[in-house]
């Protein structure tokens, strides 16, 4: 059981919250502390109040306007309370990467001022077409339907995370790229002569199901390409990752970044080292397996830091430790990929999908 840290910085009264985005389990707010709403800017220590030193991770966060986000869990979610999530992150994830490769996160006490209740009230108003007091909830743009009626959990803590959005006007087109690299190495329980990696096998299965329902296929890239150092096709991978409307020149720069970065090599090495057995026979009580599964579903945030799109800052985030309750889900997927022939390219004739995985291309010498 994770122990509660002794000294946790407390949110300042008057901190403003700006809704940024939300996923299934969390809502992300940009925060502006009272001193940031006025000048001059005080030091980071002042930001955390009297005599409370900031958590060490905050040292990594450069001062500037709105440099942190607050990450709050939703009530229904299977995710652990923030103080447990933070303890897991510090124990199992943080030691695996140098600080500059991680989206820094720290625990924050948000009890003062009934913040959660107020933010939930705003979410209610937003959904009900009333003008929320929080100006960042645009009444003309409704809350995404699939997120409605799910509110913030009554947690005394939130996570303060490094803000990866870019506010530099020069990058309007390509300010933040976020993508899930997924399984950068083959699943340890995949058949020996596989023609597809785990992600390509999973996507082939999903697309066969879509084809049966007459739905268009999902586009995807092979994760093995990300670290293959075979630069042919990297522009194509880059164009699939970035949002539409980005110029060819910017895609090319991003492709060059992908070719040269070591963050994905590091992520791949950690995925391999933490799970060498695979989900079928792996011990679900071994937290290393849970950490491996977490790293196989993390998000990499990449933002431009120079006007010519040549310098980038990349960090790995969305690293809430997976729950062992997911083991049957993971095993079920792995069994179906093996038994139905998706790894080996031996799927049912009527379900046939293209062999586009790097493994197939390497085997056929293309």
Ligand X SMILES: O=P(O)(O)O[C@@H]1[C@@H](OP(=O)(O)O)[C@H](OP(=O)(O)O)[C@H](O)[C@H](OP(=O)(O)O)[C@H]1OP(=O)(O)O
- Chain residues binding ligand X by CB under 6 A are 24, 180, 202, 293, 296-297, 322, 326, 330, 333
Contact (CB, 8 A) for 90 and 320 = no
Query: Residue 76 Cβ, how far from ligand X at the closest point, in Å?
Result: 12
The one of ligand ATP, ligand X, none whose footprint includes residue 21, by CB under 5 to 8 A per kind, is ligand ATP
Query: Residue 297 Cβ, how far from ligand X at the closest point, in Å?
Result: 3
Place of tokens 């930001």: 47
Residues that bind ligand ATP (CB under 6 A): 20-26, 28, 69, 103, 161-165, 178, 301, 317-318
Strand order in the sheet with 299-304: 176-179, 299-304, 312-317
Q: Is the dihedral of CA 138, 37, 69, 261 positive or negative?
A: positive
Query: Residue 84 Cβ, how far from ligand X at the closest point, in Å?
Result: 15
The one of ligand X, ligand ATP, none whose footprint includes residue 180, by CB under 5 to 8 A per kind, is ligand X
Query: Residue 203 Cβ, how far from ligand X at the closest point, in Å?
Result: 8
The one of ligand ATP, ligand X, none whose footprint includes residue 101, by CB under 5 to 8 A per kind, is none
**Upper half-sphere CA count for residue 167 (Cβ side, 13 Å):** 7
Place of tokens 């820094």: 104
Among 82, 55, 84, CA closest to 68:
55
Query: Residue 321 Cβ, how far from ligand ATP at the closest point, in Å?
Result: 12
The one of ligand X, ligand ATP, none whose footprint includes residue 163, by CB under 5 to 8 A per kind, is ligand ATP
Nearer to ligand ATP, 164 or 255 (CB): 164
d(CA 24, CA 76): 10
Q: What is the number of the residue whose Cβ is closest to ligand X?
A: 297
The one of ligand ATP, ligand X, none whose footprint includes residue 293, by CB under 5 to 8 A per kind, is ligand X
């Amino acid at each position: 059981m994770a122990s509660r840290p002794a000294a946790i910085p407390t949110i300042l009264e008057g901190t403003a919250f700006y809704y940024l985005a939300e996923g299934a389990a969390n809502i992300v707010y940009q925060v502006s502390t009272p001193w940031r709403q006025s000048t001059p800017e005080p030091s980071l220590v002042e930001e955390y109040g009297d005599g409370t030193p900031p958590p060490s991770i905050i040292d990594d966060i450069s001062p500037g306007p709105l440099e942190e986000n607050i990450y709050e869990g939703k009530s229904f979610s299977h995710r652990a309370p923030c103080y447990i999530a933070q303890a897991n992150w510090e124990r199992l994830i943080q030691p695996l990467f140098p600080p500059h490769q991680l989206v820094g996160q720290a625990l924050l006490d948000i009890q003062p001022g009934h913040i959660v209740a107020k933010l939930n009230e705003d979410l209610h108003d937003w959904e009900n077409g009333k003008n929320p007091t929080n100006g960042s909830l645009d009444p003309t743009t409704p809350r995404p339907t699939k997120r409605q009626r799910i509110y913030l959990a009554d947690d005394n803590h939130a996570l303060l995370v490094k803000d990866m959005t870019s506010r530099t006007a020069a990058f309007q087109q390509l300010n933040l790229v976020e993508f899930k690299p997924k399984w950068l190495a083959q699943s340890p329980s995949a058949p020996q002569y596989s023609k597809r990696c785990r992600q390509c096998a999973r996507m082939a299965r999903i697309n066969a199901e879509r084809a049966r329902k007459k739905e268009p296929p999902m586009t995807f890239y092979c994760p093995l390409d990300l670290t293959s150092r075979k630069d042919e096709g990297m522009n194509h991978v880059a164009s699939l990752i970035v949002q539409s409307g980005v110029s060819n020149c910017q895609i090319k720069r991003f492709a060059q970044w992908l070719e040269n970065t070591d963050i994905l090599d590091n992520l791949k090495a950690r995925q391999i080292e933490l799970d060498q057995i695979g989900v079928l026979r792996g011990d679900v009580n071994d937290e290393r397996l849970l950490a491996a599964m977490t790293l196989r579903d993390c998000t990499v945030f990449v933002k431009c830091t120079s006007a010519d799109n040549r310098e980038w800052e990349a960090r790995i985030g969305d690293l809430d430790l997976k729950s062992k309750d997911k083991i049957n889900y993971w095993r079920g997927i792995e069994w179906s990929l093996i038994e139905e022939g998706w790894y080996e390219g031996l799927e049912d004739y009527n379900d046939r999908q293209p062999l586009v995985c790097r493994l197939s291309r390497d085997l056929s010498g293309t």
